Amino acid sequence: MKILLTLCFAISLVSLKAQDDEALLEKALYNLPDVSFTKISKATDKYLQYDLLIKQPLDHQHAEKGFFYQRVRLTHKGFDKPTVMETEGYWLWNGGTGNELEQILGANNLDVEYRYYGKSLPDSIDWQYLTLEQATADYHKINELFKTIYKNKFISTGISKGGETTIYYKYFYPGDVDLAVPYVAPLDNSLEDLRIYHFFDTISTPECRKKIFDFQTFLLQHENEVLEKLKWYSRGADLHYTYTGSIGKSFEYAVLEFSFSFWQYNGNCNSVPSNKNVDDYIECLLKNDGISSFADEELKPFEAHYYQAQTQSGYYGYNIEPFKKYLKYFTSNPSGIFPPKNAPVKEYDSMLNVNVQNFLAEKGNNMLYIYGGFDTWSSAGVIVSDKVNSKRYTVPNTSHATARIRNMPADMQTDFVKKIKEITGLDADVSVLKKKE
C-alpha cells in the first residue's frame, strides 16, 4: 500500500510539473513578438508540443518589403534542457519521434520549415527574396526569440538540404549555436560538381561499376521499346513532362541519373539486373527514382530548391561522354537543375561556397559532420581541416537515408558522444536510439 501511495504521489508531482510548465511556456510564448501558437499535444502525450507561426520579413534589411509567416513546431521537454534547432531544407515533416540529437540529449526541439515551402509562403512568390542570406536570417530571428525562454545550450542540425542549411546558418551566424551537426550535407563547388564523376569512377568494385554502366547502356540501346512501356506507366500515374519537353528526354535524364540515385539510396549491386529482360530493367529504373523524378509532378514542388541551386548553392550534372552514341536529346552535359519557369535568370554566385569553405577550414569550430559510406553526396561533403576542433564521421556501408548516429559502429558512437561532451559539456545517451537499416 505504501509503495502504491508513493507511486501515485510521484505521478502527481510529474503531472503538476507538466501543468506548471504548460502555463509558464504559454505565457512566455504569448509574450514573444511576432509569434502565434496552437497547442497540438494531447493530455496523454509525454511532452508539450505546439505549432507556431512566426512573422518574418521577406527582406530582413527592409521590413517594408513585406512579410510571411514561417511555420515552426516546438517540442518542449523542460526549461532547463538544451534546445535543438532543426534546420529543415524543405517542408516541416509530420510525425516521427524527433531527431536524433533531440533524443540523445533529451532536448527541446524547434523544427523550422524553410521559407517558400509548405505553410511558410508569402502571398505571392518573389524569387529575389529566396536567398541563403535571407533564409538563415529567419533562423537567426527564431534563435534570438527562443533564447529568451531557453537558457541552456543550443544545437543546430539538419539532414541533406537541411544539413546544408545547418552549414550556411553556421557561416552567417557563427555565434548562434554551441554545436552544429549537419547530416549528409554537400557543399558543391560549382553548378556541375566534378567530384561526383570521380566518385562514380572509384566507388565500390570495378565489377559493380561495370554492371551499373551496362544497365544504363542496355536501357538506352532499347529506348524505343522502353518508351512504349513507360508511356503506359506515365498515363496510369498521370505524369506530364513540360519541364523537360518530352517523355523521351525525361527517360534519358532518368538513365543518366541512375548511378547518382543508386549510390545515394541503394548501393546493393545485386539489385541491378543483368539478364537482358527489358521489364526487369524498367522495374529497377523505376525503383531508383526513375522517370517520375523528371515529371512535372515531382519537379514543381522542388522549384525553390532548384532556384537556390542555380543561384547560390550549386549542384551536379550528368557526364554523357560514356553514353554519347546512344543519346538522342543531349550533345553536352545537362544540368540536374530545373528552376522555376517564372523566375528571372540570375547568375550563379560562385564565391559564396568558396567563402563558406574557407570559413569552415579556418573558423568552423564546434561542428560534427555525418556522411554515408556509399552516399553519392559524400563526394561533395566538407573535408575538415586540422585548424578547427570539428570532426567528420563517415558511417560505413550507409546511404543518404541511413547515415545516422544510430547506425554508427560502437567505437564511432563513443567518439561522437565524447566530442559532444567536449564541445558542449552535455551528456548524450545513444542507447535511446533504435538501429534502423
- pLDDT at 11 > cutoff 60: no
Task: Tell whether the model's pLDDT for residue 15 goes beyond 90.
Answer: no
More confident residue, 388 or 341: 388
- Position 10 scores a pLDDT of 44
Grid cell, residue 429, equals 545517451
- For the chain, what are the domain ranges? 33-189+359-432, 195-326
What's the rounded Cα separation, in Å, for the pair 160 and 320?
26
Q: Please state the rounded mean pLDDT for residues 366-380.
A: 98
Question: Do 359 and 171 meet the contact criterion of CB atoms below 8 Å apart?
Answer: yes
d(CA 331, CA 405): 43
* pLDDT, tens digit, 9 for 90 and up, residues 235-253: 999 999 999 999 999 999 9
Q: Residue range 81-110: average pLDDT?
A: 91
Q: How far apart are CA 350 and CA 32, in angstroms?
A: 38
User: Is residue 113 a contact partner of residue 437, using CB atoms and an 8 Å limit?
Assistant: no
- Which of 84-88, 288-292, 431-435 is predicted least confidently? 431-435
Instruction: Name the burial class of residue 63, with classes exposed (0-12), middle (13-18) and buried (19+) by CB atoms within 10 angstroms of its CB.
Output: exposed
- Cβ neighbourhood burial of 187 (10 Å; 0-12, 13-18, 19+): buried
Render the burial of 94-124: b for 16+ CB within 10 Å, e for the rest.
Answer: eeeebbbbbbbbebbbbbbbbbbbeebbbee
Q: What residues are paired with 381 via a beta bridge?
A: 186
Assigned fold of 33-189+359-432? Rossmann fold (3.40.50)
Mean pLDDT of the chain: 94
Residue 289 pLDDT > 90: no
Residue 65 confidence (pLDDT): 96
CB proximity list for 146: less than 8 A, separation 6 or greater: 83, 110
Angle between helix 206-221 and 278-287 (nearest 10): 110
**Proportion of the chain above pLDDT 70, given as a percent:** 94
Q: How confident is the model at residue 17 (pLDDT cuts 50, 70, 90)?
A: low
User: What's this model's pTM, rounded to 2 decimal places?
Assistant: 0.94
Task: Report d(CA 138, CA 72) in Å as an integer.
Answer: 11
322-334 per-position pLDDT tens digit: 999 999 999 999 9
The three cell numbers locating residue 403: 547515415
pLDDT tens profile 192-231: 999 999 999 999 999 999 999 999 999 999 999 999 999 9
3-state secondary structure of 117: strand
Residue 13 pLDDT:
43
The strand pairing partners of 71, in sequence order, are 53
3-state secondary structure of 53: strand
What residue type is 174 in one-letter code? P
